Amino acid sequence: MTPSRKKRLTYFLVSAVVVLILGKFIFNSLQKNTIYFFSPTDLYLNSENPKGLIRVGGLVKKGSVQENKNEATYTFVVTDLKNDIYVEYKGILPNLFQEEKGVVVEGTLKDKKFLLGKTILAKHDENYMPPEVAEALKKSGNWNKKYDQ
């Protein structure tokens, strides 16, 4: 092998190793920080409960919002009109949080029917239906034309 070819080969091997390591690094971090979305029905059908941070979306069930004043926590029910899940949330409800409107809650599962909410994602305007929620409602067969704005 000529010296220049040898040099090129080393260069190639070193960069291949570096790229692989960095790729693995990105991949691992991506795995660790991926937040999956579930509808209440998804969770109901799942045999195993997902661990870590997840998002659950659906409609806020009418009449389900309750405030616990002493602990500044709220509980409410998120539904895709087929299955429900209870959410306990400590914090301030955003402006756009309303009963019978779409909501996405980020948090961890306590058990299949109970989510400890950390963040409520409601940055959109009030007619806006988060696409995940729309999808969840379509899946459960409860999509209504009135949501189609």
Partner 1 sequence: MISNLGAVLLIVSFLTTCSTLFLYIKNNIIQKSSIYLQFFLFYKVSFYLILFSFFVLIVCFAISDFSIISVYENSHTDKPLFYKISAAWGNHEGSMLLFILVISLYGILFLLNSKNINDSLRACTIFFQSIIQLIFLSFLIFTSNPFSKIFPVPVQGLGLNPILQDPLLAIHPPFLYLGYVGFSLVFSLLLAALILKQYNSRWASIAKKWIMLPWSFLSFGIGLGSFWAYYELGWGGYWFWDPVENASLMPWIASTALIHSIVVMEKLKKLFAWTAILTILTFILSLFGTFLVRSGVLNSVHAFANDPERGVYILFIITIITLGSLIIYILKFPKESVNNNSFALFSRDFSILLNNYFLIFILTVVIVGTTYPILLSVFTGETISVGPQYYNTILAPFIFIFLILMAMGPLMKWNGNSLISIKQKIFSFFIVSIFLTILISLYLSRYNFIFLLGVLCSVYLIVSVFYEIVMSKKTFFTKQNFSRLFSHLGFGLLILAITLNHFFSKEINAKIHLGESFFKQGIKINFLKSESSKEKNFEELFGIYKITKDNKTFILKPSVRKYKQPQQFTSETSIQRDGLSDVYIAMDYAGDPSMGMGVRFYYNYFVRLIWISFALITIGGIVSFVRRGNEKTI
Site of interaction with partner 1 (CB under 8 A) = 22, 25-26, 29-30, 32-37, 53, 55, 67, 72, 91-97, 123-128, 130-132, 135
CB 124 to partner 1: min, Å: 7
Spell out the residues 6+ positions from residue 72 whose beta carbon is closer than 8 angstroms to its own.
90, 91
Is the CB of 79 or the CB of 122 nearer to partner 1?
122
CA distances from 37 to 52, 53, 67, 73, 115 (A): 12, 10, 26, 23, 13
* Strand 66-68 relative to strand 84-90, pairing: unpaired
CB 33 to partner 1: min, Å: 4
Is the CB of 74 or the CB of 86 nearer to partner 1?
74
Is the CB of 13 or the CB of 26 nearer to partner 1?
26
Number of residues that make up the chain: 149
